[in-house]
A and B are shown apart, each in its own frame.
Chain A
Amino acid sequence: MDTLFIVKDSPFVIDESLTPLKWAKEDDGIVFIQEGVYIAKKMPESLWSYIENLKTKGVRFYILKADVNARALREIPSIFEVVDYDKLIDLITTYKRIFS
């Protein structure tokens, strides 16, 4: 578990919030929190293929349960692991470095 990227901005308002997708490599993780969780609601097909490609390389995707529930996002794609705050803290302390 190498670098954990934290994405907290809406992909629709700030498209560059997804820049970490370009920098992630195997053994990295990307966690979506705050407005970043809206990525689970709708994402362009091209981005899906990009994410699935990263997943194939071993990049893990997480999404924060509290922020998902707060925004009434009922169906979370299976590519995301839904994590609570305790798990988020575990991730932050387990990964070698954090890019937020």
Chain B
Amino acid sequence: MTKKALLVVKSSPYGTICAICVYEAKRAAVGLSGEDIESSILLVNDGVYFLLKGQDPSDLKMQSFELAFQDLEDFDIKLFAHKPSLEKRAISESEIRKVDLLTDDEIADLIKSSDVIMTF
């Protein structure tokens, strides 16, 4: 039976080392896919800021987050975001990239269905 991994990104893209968190989550997910482990990336709390379209961190000498979200489907990596985290930050669906939004109950179920959880 295929195992399932849940990779959780909780921190903001800026101001901390977590600027690379979403890249690390994707890298782990891609690596796990090679081990026949299904991975899902879940963005919660300030992690949902990664989803905002049109971010240009070049003046901060940081690379775009676009690459982190590319090719996820090719590796069967699912991308989820915590709906209440978006609502709390007044972020509308039109402002973010395509992602499946989950309620608290749905996240509770996602946690229960995962064999391992890694937080970035």
Residues of A within 8 A of B (CB): 2-3, 16, 19, 22-25, 97-100
Contact (Cβ within 8 A) A99 B8? yes
Chain B interface, number of residues (Cβ within 8 angstroms): 15
Contact (Cβ within 8 A) B45 A98? no
B99 interface residue, CB < 8 Å from A? no
| Chain A residues near B104 (CB-CB < 8 A) | 22-23
Contact (Cβ within 8 A) A3 B85? no
Contact (Cβ within 8 A) B114 A97? yes
| Chain A residues near B112 (CB-CB < 8 A) | 2-3, 25
Contact (Cβ within 8 A) A97 B116? yes
B83-120: CB near A (< 8 Å → 1, else 0) gives 00100000000000000000010011001101111010
- Tally inter-chain residue pairs, CB-CB below 8 A: 31
Report if A3-B45 is in contact (Cβ < 8 Å); known contacts: A99-B117, A100-B119: no
**Besides A22-B108, A99-B117, A100-B117, 4 other A-B contacts (C-beta < 8 A):** A2-B112, A97-B115, A99-B8, A99-B119
What is the interface of chain A mostly: helix, strand, loop, or mixed?
mixed
Q: How far is the CA of A82 from the CA of B117 in the complex (A)?
A: 25
B44 interface residue, CB < 8 Å from A? yes
The chain B residue sitting closest to A97, CB to CB, is: B117
The chain A residue sitting closest to B110, CB to CB, is: A23
B63-92: CB near A (< 8 Å → 1, else 0) gives 000000000000000000010010000000
Contact (Cβ within 8 A) B117 A23? no
**Distance (Å) between the CB of A30 and the closest chain B CB?**
13
| Chain A residues near B117 (CB-CB < 8 A) | 3, 97-100
